Amino acid sequence: MNVLIFLVLAIAASIPLSYAFRAGLVRVLPHEKALVARDMPLTAAFGIMVIGVYVIVAFAAPLLAPFPERAVVGSQFQPWDSTYLLGTDRLGRDMLSRLIYGARNTVGIAFATTALAFVVGALLGIWAALRGGWLDQLLSRFVDALMAIPSLIFSLLLLTIFGTSVLTLILVIAAVDATRVYRIARSVSQGVVVMDYIEAARLRGEGNWYLIRHEILPNALAPLVAEFGLRFCFVFLTISSLSFLGLGIQPPTADWGSMVRDNATLITFGDMTPLMPAGAIALLTVAVNFVVDWQLYRASGLKEQG
Protein backbone atom coordinates (compact mmCIF):
# COMPACT_ATOMS: atom_id res chain seq x y z
CA MET A 1 0.00 0.00 0.00
CA ASN A 2 2.82 2.42 0.83
CA VAL A 3 4.42 1.73 -2.55
CA LEU A 4 1.11 2.40 -4.33
CA ILE A 5 0.65 5.70 -2.50
CA PHE A 6 4.24 6.68 -3.34
CA LEU A 7 3.66 5.93 -7.04
CA VAL A 8 0.45 7.95 -7.13
CA LEU A 9 2.14 10.93 -5.46
CA ALA A 10 5.15 10.67 -7.79
CA ILE A 11 2.94 10.65 -10.90
CA ALA A 12 0.89 13.57 -9.58
CA ALA A 13 4.05 15.57 -8.86
CA SER A 14 5.57 14.82 -12.28
CA ILE A 15 2.82 16.71 -14.15
CA PRO A 16 3.48 20.22 -12.76
CA LEU A 17 7.24 19.56 -12.77
CA SER A 18 7.13 18.63 -16.47
CA TYR A 19 5.03 21.69 -17.25
CA ALA A 20 7.43 23.98 -15.38
CA PHE A 21 10.44 22.37 -17.05
CA ARG A 22 8.94 22.87 -20.51
CA ALA A 23 8.11 26.49 -19.69
CA GLY A 24 11.69 27.00 -18.52
CA LEU A 25 13.07 25.59 -21.77
CA VAL A 26 10.86 27.94 -23.79
CA ARG A 27 12.24 30.91 -21.86
CA VAL A 28 15.95 30.08 -22.06
CA LEU A 29 16.32 28.48 -25.51
CA PRO A 30 16.84 30.44 -28.75
CA HIS A 31 13.70 31.36 -30.69
CA GLU A 32 13.62 28.43 -33.13
CA LYS A 33 14.38 25.82 -30.48
CA ALA A 34 11.94 27.48 -28.11
CA LEU A 35 9.17 26.93 -30.66
CA VAL A 36 10.03 23.24 -30.75
CA ALA A 37 10.09 23.06 -26.95
CA ARG A 38 6.73 24.85 -26.71
CA ASP A 39 5.08 22.22 -28.92
CA MET A 40 6.59 19.18 -27.20
CA PRO A 41 4.16 17.03 -25.20
CA LEU A 42 4.46 16.86 -21.43
CA THR A 43 5.64 13.26 -21.69
CA ALA A 44 8.64 14.35 -23.77
CA ALA A 45 9.38 17.18 -21.34
CA PHE A 46 9.23 14.70 -18.48
CA GLY A 47 11.59 12.36 -20.35
CA ILE A 48 14.14 15.08 -21.07
CA MET A 49 13.97 16.29 -17.47
CA VAL A 50 14.56 12.78 -16.08
CA ILE A 51 17.44 12.11 -18.50
CA GLY A 52 19.02 15.42 -17.50
CA VAL A 53 18.77 14.51 -13.81
CA TYR A 54 20.40 11.14 -14.45
CA VAL A 55 23.25 12.76 -16.39
CA ILE A 56 23.86 15.28 -13.59
CA VAL A 57 23.82 12.54 -10.96
CA ALA A 58 26.21 10.40 -13.01
CA PHE A 59 28.77 13.18 -13.43
CA ALA A 60 28.42 14.59 -9.90
CA ALA A 61 28.25 11.23 -8.08
CA PRO A 62 31.31 11.87 -5.85
CA LEU A 63 29.81 15.19 -4.76
CA LEU A 64 26.26 13.93 -4.21
CA ALA A 65 26.96 10.59 -2.51
CA PRO A 66 27.22 10.84 1.30
CA PHE A 67 29.70 7.92 1.47
CA PRO A 68 32.29 6.35 -0.88
CA GLU A 69 31.02 3.78 -3.35
CA ARG A 70 32.67 0.72 -1.78
CA ALA A 71 32.97 1.78 1.87
CA VAL A 72 31.45 -0.41 4.59
CA VAL A 73 29.92 2.19 6.88
CA GLY A 74 27.55 0.21 9.13
CA SER A 75 26.10 -3.17 9.94
CA GLN A 76 24.17 -5.14 7.35
CA PHE A 77 20.61 -4.24 6.43
CA GLN A 78 20.31 -1.24 8.72
CA PRO A 79 16.91 0.48 8.39
CA TRP A 80 16.38 3.95 6.99
CA ASP A 81 17.44 6.72 9.35
CA SER A 82 18.96 10.21 9.32
CA THR A 83 22.47 8.83 8.69
CA TYR A 84 21.61 6.14 6.13
CA LEU A 85 18.68 7.60 4.24
CA LEU A 86 18.01 4.35 2.36
CA GLY A 87 19.60 2.01 4.87
CA THR A 88 22.54 -0.31 4.19
CA ASP A 89 22.98 -3.43 2.08
CA ARG A 90 24.01 -6.95 3.09
CA LEU A 91 27.63 -5.84 3.59
CA GLY A 92 26.86 -2.61 5.44
CA ARG A 93 27.42 -0.25 2.51
CA ASP A 94 25.24 2.83 2.17
CA MET A 95 22.42 2.13 -0.30
CA LEU A 96 21.90 5.76 -1.31
CA SER A 97 25.58 6.18 -2.18
CA ARG A 98 25.63 3.00 -4.24
CA LEU A 99 22.40 4.02 -5.96
CA ILE A 100 24.01 7.32 -6.97
CA TYR A 101 27.23 5.69 -8.15
CA GLY A 102 25.14 3.11 -9.99
CA ALA A 103 23.90 5.88 -12.27
CA ARG A 104 27.48 6.52 -13.38
CA ASN A 105 28.36 2.84 -13.84
CA THR A 106 25.19 1.33 -15.27
CA VAL A 107 24.13 4.26 -17.47
CA GLY A 108 27.69 5.10 -18.54
CA ILE A 109 28.52 1.55 -19.61
CA ALA A 110 25.14 1.22 -21.36
CA PHE A 111 25.74 4.45 -23.29
CA ALA A 112 29.26 3.44 -24.33
CA THR A 113 27.99 0.03 -25.45
CA THR A 114 25.12 1.53 -27.44
CA ALA A 115 27.42 4.08 -29.12
CA LEU A 116 29.87 1.36 -30.18
CA ALA A 117 27.06 -0.90 -31.45
CA PHE A 118 25.57 1.99 -33.38
CA VAL A 119 28.81 3.09 -35.03
CA VAL A 120 29.62 -0.45 -36.18
CA GLY A 121 26.09 -1.50 -37.12
CA ALA A 122 25.07 1.74 -38.84
CA LEU A 123 28.26 2.02 -40.92
CA LEU A 124 28.06 -1.60 -42.04
CA GLY A 125 24.35 -1.29 -42.83
CA ILE A 126 24.80 1.88 -44.89
CA TRP A 127 27.85 0.41 -46.62
CA ALA A 128 25.95 -2.77 -47.52
CA ALA A 129 23.00 -0.79 -48.93
CA LEU A 130 25.34 1.44 -50.93
CA ARG A 131 27.48 -1.32 -52.42
CA GLY A 132 24.83 -4.02 -52.83
CA GLY A 133 25.74 -7.24 -54.61
CA TRP A 134 27.72 -10.00 -52.91
CA LEU A 135 28.87 -7.77 -50.02
CA ASP A 136 25.28 -6.95 -49.09
CA GLN A 137 24.26 -10.61 -49.31
CA LEU A 138 27.23 -11.82 -47.28
CA LEU A 139 26.77 -9.32 -44.45
CA SER A 140 23.00 -9.75 -44.37
CA ARG A 141 23.13 -13.56 -44.17
CA PHE A 142 25.76 -13.38 -41.44
CA VAL A 143 23.59 -10.95 -39.47
CA ASP A 144 20.53 -13.18 -39.99
CA ALA A 145 22.44 -16.13 -38.54
CA LEU A 146 23.44 -14.14 -35.44
CA MET A 147 19.94 -12.74 -34.94
CA ALA A 148 18.51 -16.26 -34.98
CA ILE A 149 20.18 -16.81 -31.57
CA PRO A 150 18.36 -15.17 -28.62
CA SER A 151 20.47 -12.16 -27.66
CA LEU A 152 20.49 -12.77 -23.89
CA ILE A 153 21.50 -16.42 -24.28
CA PHE A 154 24.18 -15.48 -26.81
CA SER A 155 25.54 -12.79 -24.46
CA LEU A 156 25.59 -15.24 -21.55
CA LEU A 157 27.52 -17.75 -23.66
CA LEU A 158 30.12 -15.22 -24.83
CA LEU A 159 30.61 -13.74 -21.36
CA THR A 160 31.07 -17.22 -19.92
CA ILE A 161 33.79 -17.90 -22.52
CA PHE A 162 35.62 -14.55 -22.52
CA GLY A 163 35.10 -13.38 -18.93
CA THR A 164 33.09 -10.61 -17.30
CA SER A 165 35.37 -7.57 -17.30
CA VAL A 166 33.83 -4.21 -18.20
CA LEU A 167 35.65 -4.12 -21.56
CA THR A 168 34.47 -7.63 -22.42
CA LEU A 169 30.93 -6.75 -21.38
CA ILE A 170 30.90 -3.69 -23.65
CA LEU A 171 32.38 -5.54 -26.64
CA VAL A 172 30.11 -8.58 -26.33
CA ILE A 173 26.85 -6.66 -25.96
CA ALA A 174 27.88 -4.18 -28.66
CA ALA A 175 28.62 -7.04 -31.07
CA VAL A 176 25.27 -8.67 -30.36
CA ASP A 177 23.30 -5.42 -30.61
CA ALA A 178 25.10 -4.19 -33.74
CA THR A 179 23.18 -6.81 -35.72
CA ARG A 180 19.89 -5.07 -34.91
CA VAL A 181 21.33 -1.67 -35.80
CA TYR A 182 22.65 -3.10 -39.08
CA ARG A 183 19.17 -4.21 -40.17
CA ILE A 184 17.62 -0.82 -39.43
CA ALA A 185 20.43 1.17 -41.07
CA ARG A 186 20.42 -1.05 -44.17
CA SER A 187 16.64 -0.81 -44.51
CA VAL A 188 16.60 2.99 -44.20
CA SER A 189 19.60 3.42 -46.51
CA GLN A 190 18.10 1.27 -49.25
CA GLY A 191 15.36 3.87 -49.61
CA VAL A 192 17.96 6.64 -49.94
CA VAL A 193 20.53 5.11 -52.32
CA VAL A 194 17.96 4.93 -55.16
CA MET A 195 17.28 8.68 -55.08
CA ASP A 196 18.32 10.94 -57.94
CA TYR A 197 20.73 13.04 -55.87
CA ILE A 198 22.75 9.90 -55.08
CA GLU A 199 23.08 9.16 -58.79
CA ALA A 200 23.99 12.79 -59.46
CA ALA A 201 26.73 12.62 -56.82
CA ARG A 202 28.09 9.44 -58.38
CA LEU A 203 28.16 11.08 -61.80
CA ARG A 204 30.18 13.93 -60.26
CA GLY A 205 32.76 11.32 -59.30
CA GLU A 206 32.11 11.35 -55.55
CA GLY A 207 33.40 8.34 -53.61
CA ASN A 208 31.47 6.02 -51.31
CA TRP A 209 32.70 7.69 -48.13
CA TYR A 210 31.50 11.08 -49.40
CA LEU A 211 28.11 9.59 -50.26
CA ILE A 212 27.78 8.09 -46.79
CA ARG A 213 28.75 11.28 -44.93
CA HIS A 214 27.06 13.94 -47.05
CA GLU A 215 24.15 12.24 -48.81
CA ILE A 216 22.93 9.09 -47.06
CA LEU A 217 23.59 9.73 -43.37
CA PRO A 218 21.92 13.19 -43.18
CA ASN A 219 18.78 11.81 -44.85
CA ALA A 220 18.68 8.70 -42.66
CA LEU A 221 19.57 10.45 -39.42
CA ALA A 222 16.08 10.96 -37.94
CA PRO A 223 15.06 7.28 -37.76
CA LEU A 224 18.58 6.31 -36.69
CA VAL A 225 18.53 8.79 -33.79
CA ALA A 226 15.19 7.36 -32.66
CA GLU A 227 16.59 3.86 -32.98
CA PHE A 228 19.58 4.90 -30.87
CA GLY A 229 17.22 5.72 -28.01
CA LEU A 230 15.46 2.37 -28.31
CA ARG A 231 18.74 0.49 -28.56
CA PHE A 232 19.98 2.26 -25.43
CA CYS A 233 16.93 1.01 -23.52
CA PHE A 234 17.51 -2.56 -24.68
CA VAL A 235 21.23 -2.44 -23.88
CA PHE A 236 20.53 -0.82 -20.51
CA LEU A 237 18.05 -3.56 -19.60
CA THR A 238 20.40 -6.27 -20.91
CA ILE A 239 23.29 -5.06 -18.74
CA SER A 240 21.00 -4.86 -15.71
CA SER A 241 19.70 -8.38 -16.41
CA LEU A 242 23.21 -9.78 -16.77
CA SER A 243 24.28 -8.07 -13.55
CA PHE A 244 21.26 -9.55 -11.77
CA LEU A 245 22.37 -12.99 -13.03
CA GLY A 246 25.95 -12.36 -11.86
CA LEU A 247 27.59 -12.00 -15.31
CA GLY A 248 27.34 -8.25 -15.79
CA ILE A 249 29.13 -5.48 -13.90
CA GLN A 250 31.05 -7.23 -11.15
CA PRO A 251 31.20 -6.29 -7.44
CA PRO A 252 32.27 -4.24 -5.64
CA THR A 253 31.35 -1.81 -8.43
CA ALA A 254 27.90 -0.35 -7.77
CA ASP A 255 25.35 -1.51 -10.31
CA TRP A 256 21.57 -1.37 -10.16
CA GLY A 257 21.02 -4.92 -11.43
CA SER A 258 23.31 -6.51 -8.86
CA MET A 259 21.87 -4.24 -6.12
CA VAL A 260 18.43 -5.73 -6.74
CA ARG A 261 19.86 -9.26 -6.50
CA ASP A 262 21.93 -8.62 -3.37
CA ASN A 263 19.08 -7.03 -1.42
CA ALA A 264 16.13 -9.05 -2.72
CA THR A 265 15.70 -10.79 0.64
CA LEU A 266 14.48 -7.51 2.16
CA ILE A 267 11.26 -7.76 0.13
CA THR A 268 10.26 -10.70 2.33
CA PHE A 269 10.19 -8.33 5.29
CA GLY A 270 8.19 -5.63 3.51
CA ASP A 271 11.23 -3.40 2.92
CA MET A 272 11.03 -1.49 -0.38
CA THR A 273 14.78 -0.77 -0.56
CA PRO A 274 15.41 -3.34 -3.35
CA LEU A 275 12.74 -1.57 -5.39
CA MET A 276 14.85 1.62 -5.51
CA PRO A 277 17.43 0.39 -8.07
CA ALA A 278 14.67 -1.45 -9.94
CA GLY A 279 12.66 1.78 -10.01
CA ALA A 280 15.70 3.72 -11.25
CA ILE A 281 16.03 1.25 -14.15
CA ALA A 282 12.33 1.48 -15.00
CA LEU A 283 12.19 5.29 -14.73
CA LEU A 284 15.08 5.85 -17.13
CA THR A 285 13.66 3.33 -19.60
CA VAL A 286 10.28 5.07 -19.60
CA ALA A 287 11.88 8.52 -19.92
CA VAL A 288 13.99 7.52 -22.92
CA ASN A 289 10.96 5.96 -24.62
CA PHE A 290 8.95 9.15 -24.12
CA VAL A 291 11.66 11.17 -25.87
CA VAL A 292 12.04 8.58 -28.65
CA ASP A 293 8.27 8.58 -29.30
CA TRP A 294 8.33 12.36 -29.62
CA GLN A 295 11.29 12.27 -32.01
CA LEU A 296 9.60 9.62 -34.15
CA TYR A 297 6.47 11.76 -34.27
CA ARG A 298 8.48 14.79 -35.37
CA ALA A 299 10.37 12.78 -37.99
CA SER A 300 7.13 11.42 -39.43
CA GLY A 301 6.02 14.93 -40.40
CA LEU A 302 2.58 14.45 -38.81
CA LYS A 303 0.82 17.46 -37.35
CA GLU A 304 -1.80 17.57 -34.66
CA GLN A 305 -5.24 18.45 -35.86
CA GLY A 306 -6.42 21.62 -34.20
pLDDT at 56: 92
Distances in Å between the alpha carbon of 300 and those of 115, 191, 262, 294?
Answer: 24, 15, 44, 10
Structure confidence at residue 33 (pLDDT) = 82
| Cβ count near 76 (within 10 Å) | 13
pTM: 0.82
Residue 93's DSSP bridge partners are 72
| C-alpha–C-alpha distance, residues 54 and 11, integer Å | 18
Give the model's pLDDT for residue 4.
62
Nearest to 247 by CA among 163, 133, 145, 186: 163
Cis peptide bond upstream of 62, omega within 30: no
Where in the chain are the domains? Answer: 70-300
Q: What is the pLDDT of residue 306?
A: 35
- Chunk the chain into consecutive blocks of 10 residues (it has 306) and report each block's average pLDDT, rounded to whole numbers: 63 81 86 83 90 90 88 84 84 89 88 91 89 85 86 84 85 90 88 82 81 82 82 86 82 84 78 82 88 79 46
What pLDDT score was predicted for residue 13? 76
**Burial of residue 263, with CB atoms counted within 10 A of its CB: 0-12 exposed, 13-18 middle, 19 or more buried:** buried
Tell me which residue of 78, 98, 100 sits closest to 87, measured CA to CA. Answer: 78
- Give the whole-angstrom CA distance, residue 235 versus residue 109: 9
The pLDDT score that the predictor gives to residue 305 is 40
CATH number for the segment(s) 70-300: 1.10.3720.10
